[in-house]
């Protein structure tokens, strides 16, 4: 649990540092890019969670993510927990741990979370944002950006989160 906790702290910190220090606005213009490095780590850690600590960590970091990044407390906490439970109960038994399977899991999770966030924001705040504008200016670029993050972080995260065989 300590290894996953430290890894999630680092991923959460790097997520937030990317938002602060990467020149997202000058490079991407009007596009809104949301890094989900923490979600990538949660999806990968779920495959190696032998003692069932990842659901608790997902809720805790989801709530911290809510407090730091959104005005809807509990939204990411619940969504991260749902992602962990779906991956743990439905996908881990039948899916091999390789880049392609993790890629699809992460892309579907990010797509689903972004659609839910869009729905909540448009319903709760009464802001009329066209679905095409959301897809064009946030969803597609977020999926592409997080694909690059996954490519860069897959092997280091796999090495960190995979349990070492006992001798």
pTM (2 d.p.): 0.88
**What pLDDT tens digit does each residue of the chain (167 aa) get?**
788 889 989 999 998 888 777 766 556 667 888 899 999 999 999 988 878 889 999 999 999 988 887 777 788 889 999 999 999 999 988 888 899 999 999 999 999 999 988 888 888 877 777 888 889 888 999 999 999 999 999 999 999 988 777 66
First-to-last C-alpha distance (Å) of the chain: 20
How far apart (Å, rounded) are the C-alpha atoms in residues 85 and 77?
A: 12
Per-residue tokens: 51: 């003692």
**CB-CB neighbours of 71 under 10 Å:** 11
How far apart (Å, rounded) are the C-alpha atoms in residues 148 and 144?
A: 6
- DSSP letters, 34-100, are ---HHHHHHHHHHHT-SSS-HHHHHHHHHHHHHHHH-SSTTHHHHHHHHHHHHIIIIITTT---SHH
């Amino acid at each position: 649990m300590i290894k996953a906790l430290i890894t999630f702290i680092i991923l959460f910190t790097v997520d937030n540092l990317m938002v602060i220090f990467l020149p997202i606005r000058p490079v991407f213009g009007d596009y809104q890019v949301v890094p989900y490095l923490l979600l990538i780590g949660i999806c990968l850690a779920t495959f190696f969670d032998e003692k069932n600590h990842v659901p608790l960590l997902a809720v805790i970091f989801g709530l911290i993510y809510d407090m730091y990044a959104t005005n809807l407390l509990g939204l990411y906490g619940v969504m991260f927990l749902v992602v962990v439970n779906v991956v743990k109960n439905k996908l881990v038994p039948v899916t091999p741990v390789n880049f392609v399977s993790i890629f699809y899991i992460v892309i579907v999770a990010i797509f689903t979370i972004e659609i839910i966030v869009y729905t909540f924001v448009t319903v709760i705040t009464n802001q009329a944002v066209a679905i095409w504008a959301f897809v064009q200016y946030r969803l597609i670029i977020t999926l592409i950006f997080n694909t690059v993050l996954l490519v860069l972080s897959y092997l280091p995260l796999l090495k960190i989160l995979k349990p070492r065989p006992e001798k």
